[in-house]
Copies of this chain bind each other. A is one copy, B any other.
Amino acid sequence: MPGGRPRAFDPDVALDRALELFWRQGYEGTSLSDLTAAMGINKPSLYAAFGTKEQLFAKALDRYVSGPGAFAREALAAATVREVVERLIHGAVELTTGPRTPPGCLNVNTVHACGADAAPVRELALACRMAGEVALRRRLEQALDLPPGQDPATLARLVHTITDGIAVQAAAGRTRKEIREVADLALRALLPA
């Protein structure tokens, strides 16, 4: 069984480049030429290693969720409702305003990719959001320290509404410092001492 010609590139770093590009330019705004240029490979190599542009995006989204976006899952392990919410909102600020990553959130960007051919990846992003919301709601439902009269489902949606808004503000170019102030004010309003 012969081994064949070895790869001239590292699929791992190539996928990171693709994630960076999709994050910064969106699914529809990123062409195969952009991708091959940034990844340092040709179109046939890209196709052989990652499949269709759509399949490549799915892999990039996976990496995003389990890498820069992993805080969203980890935050649910915090001991108190307050700490869970704080971690989620602060994590959103840091994620969307990172100095070495594109501004904004890949997931929120993708929801707004409304072209006809972007429908499949949009569904991916929507499913991802739905999973995150269900997880947070479950966490709040099981909490013993939820303020009385609070509906877990609505609170979960409000927290995600705020993190979504943070992503928009970041994509619109607001600075990390400004968004941190907004996030802290939101937390004071949401979780009075």
* Nearest CB on B from A101, distance (A): 14
- Per DSSP, chain A at the interface is helix
Q: A134: CB under 8 A from chain B?
A: no
Binding stretch for chain B, among A2-10, A56-64, A137-145, A154-162: A154-162
Return chain B residues, CB-CB under 8 Å to A160: 165, 169
Could you mark each residue 148-180 of chain A with 1 if its beta carbon is under 8 Å from any beta carbon of chain B, else 0? 000100110110111111111101111000100
Return chain B residues, CB-CB under 8 Å to A157: 169, 174, 178, 181-182
Contact yes or no, A114 B172, CB < 8 A: no
Binding stretch for chain B, among A36-44, A73-81, A185-193: A185-193
Q: A84: CB under 8 A from chain B?
A: no
Return chain B residues, CB-CB under 8 Å to A173: 126
Q: A28: CB under 8 A from chain B?
A: yes
Q: How far is the CA of A50 from the CA of B10 in the complex (A)?
A: 49
* Nearest CB on B from A162, distance (A): 6
Contact yes or no, B108 A112, CB < 8 A: yes
Contact yes or no, A112 B115, CB < 8 A: no
Q: A113: CB under 8 A from chain B?
A: yes
Return chain B residues, CB-CB under 8 Å to A13: none
Q: A1: CB under 8 A from chain B?
A: no
Q: A116: CB under 8 A from chain B?
A: yes
Contact yes or no, B162 A116, CB < 8 A: no
CB under 8 Å from chain B, chain A span 104-119: 104, 108-109, 111-116, 118
Contact yes or no, B115 A25, CB < 8 A: yes
Q: A90: CB under 8 A from chain B?
A: no
Q: A29: CB under 8 A from chain B?
A: yes
Contact yes or no, A168 B167, CB < 8 A: yes
Q: A26: CB under 8 A from chain B?
A: yes
The answer to whether A182 and B161 touch (CB under 8 A), given A26-B113, A104-B112, A114-B29, is yes
